[in-house]
Amino acid sequence: MSGHDYLQTLVFLCALLLLTPIVGAYLVRFLWTDMNRQGRAGRLAEWFVLRIVGVGAAGEMTWQQYTLSLVWFNLFGLALLFVIQLFQAHLPLNPTRVPNVAWPLAFNTAVSFVTNTNWQSYAGETTMSHLTQMLGLAVQNFVSAATGMAVFLALVRGLVRRSATTIGNFWSDLVRCTFFVLMPLCLVFAIFLVSQGVPQSFDGSVQASTLEGAHQTIPLGPVASQIAIKQLGTNGGGFFNANSAHPFENPTPLSNFFEMLAILLIPAATVHAYGRMTRARRHAAVVFGVMFFLLIAGLTVSLWSETSTHASLAGTPWLEGKETRFGVVGSVLWSVSTTAASNGSVNAMHSSLTPLSGLVALFNMMIGEVVFGGVGAGMYGMLMFILLTVFLAGLMVGRTPEFLGKRIEAAEIRWVLVAVLAPSAAILAGAAVACVTPAGLSGPTNPGPHGLSEILYAFASAAGNNGSAFASLNANTVFYNLALGIAMLIGRYAVIVPALAIAGSLVRKKPTPASSGTFPTDTMTFGVMLAGIVVIVGFLTFLPALTLGPIVEHFLMALGRTF
């Protein structure tokens, strides 16, 4: 690594640390305070939306009502996006006259964007009309991210409220997250992207002549608005097939830096906001430290592997599949960030990563993407591990475990186990079926352990609601469109429903005063235990599969063999 590479990495991490408390304070102001502090326009916007859905701003919900509202809203969005794709050829804003989308791909895409996954088995510029991109995909980018933030808010209310029965109002949370957080930040970011050269128009395409005299068709469209929310909302779905490796999505080193920073910005700020909302800032600082440590650990392994010499390449740099405008380090920073944060966007092809670097990306997704994770989703996913850690610590000292003054009992732990194990089961079961069926085996384009890594990566990305791909798996088949769609649904709602059920259980409990037997959650000891639980659960669950994939490939590559 050169001095420039070290500087780039250091500046990126320092910028993240600097902006985290600023954006965190912004989240607290607009998501946790009374609406009277948000101005007349804010109150009017919330009132208008709540009148449409027929509820009042003060209409608090039980966890069952909150869950039903969330599920019905998501089902409506899924159905609407599915229908738009099926009939897009007959709808306006289709200047390039793209045809209707086949139903298996339409189902996969609708599920993908509603679950905040943004897995793409298609090339956006040749498959989706401008109307589908804006009314379908971009809208879901906003509301799916807002849904994750709403679940986080509901779970925090379950932790801080005493002897209550309700956890908030889903519609109010959805409006606040969309209109007061995501839209203002995306507006500013989209303007910045346009200044860097990202297109934002309703034109279909333009014809250009190359230096050799050949003619080239260059697609255009409302790109900047889509890229802004794909990064800030940890969505990841690109306007173009090459995603952020495309010069129209990511034209300059400056755009690359800020797009990469935007991936982690809101998830990291959510941890800071969590500390202020629960009035447990030291505990939140420990949680942030654990996430940051896991991020640094993964980044260190990836950078070491990608910048080392390998016998299979005779000592030459590992450049295949990398975007040469940003270099190896720029690609590695992005790959670690996007898989840690449930974002899924790419500026290099992950299939071209070294086996160990690919292993880091895989493991980030397999542990539930709790290394900051998705918008809202990363924090409520980490809270599942926090509750599990507190429970195990309670068993060690022979006391009923307590967390933020609430007793953690069998009911909560059962839901925690569902949230932790269901996505893992979807990954392993889906990959197993793909490995023993002709339809599944038709997808990989590489043999040996790399082919297994392609299948594992696809199901880890789907069940982890990440959306990135190895970019070497032929996933636009009926089998993969349906199987990955099911994995996305399990990965999303098998965590959301337990999180809301835990919120409903905790909110009814009376506070328990801390005693000498209470295990403190704001110490280094707790941080070490939390990090250990996350890593151990991940390795115990996935080590056999990872051994047959990227780990074997790493040792074979050291002997000069590639796949």
Q: Which residues contact residue 124 at a Cβ distance below 8 angstroms, ignoring those fewer than 6 apart?
A: 133, 237, 238, 239, 240, 241
Q: Are strands 215-219 and 205-209 parallel, antiparallel or unpaired?
A: antiparallel
pLDDT at residue number 316: 63
Distance CA 503, CA 158 (A): 4
Whole-number pLDDT of residue 34: 61
Q: Which residues of the chain have pLDDT under 50?
A: 36
Q: What is the reported pLDDT for 191?
A: 95
* SS3 assignment for 106-122: HHHHHHHHHCCCCCCCC
Q: 93: helix, coil or strand?
A: coil
In this structure, what DSSP letter does residue 551 have?
I
Task: Give the per-residue pLDDT at 208.
Answer: 79
pLDDT, position 43: 67
Under 8 Å between Cβ of 334 and 348: yes
**Tally: H helices and E strands in the chain:** 21, 4
Closest CA to 77 of 149, 145, 129: 145
E-strand ranges in 173-221 read: 205-209, 215-219
pLDDT at 482: 96
- For residue 526, what pLDDT is reported? 93
Q: What is the pLDDT of residue 37?
A: 54
Within 10 angstroms of residue 119's Cβ, the number of other Cβ atoms is 28
DSSP E strands in 162-230: the ranges are 205-209, 215-219
The per-residue pLDDT for 310 is 66
**How far apart are the C-alpha atoms of 546 and 543, rounded to whole Å?**
5
pLDDT of residue 54: 65
- Residue 314: what pLDDT? 62
Contact 127, 86 (CB under 8 A): no
- CA 476/CA 3 separation, integer angstroms: 42
Q: What are 493-541's pLDDT values in tens digits? A: 999 999 999 999 999 998 877 776 778 888 999 999 999 999 999 999 9
CA distance 201 to 203: 6
Q: What is the pLDDT of residues 388-436, one digit of tens each?
A: 999 998 887 777 788 988 899 899 999 999 999 999 999 999 999 999 9
> CB neighbours (10 Å) of residue 12?
20
In sequence order, the 6+-apart residues with CB closer than 8 A to the CB of 531 are 290, 293, 294
Kindly compute the dihedral angle of the four CA atoms of residues 349, 354, 356, 362, in this order, to the nearest 10 degrees.
20
Query: 70: part of which helix (H) or strand (E)?
Result: helix 63-86
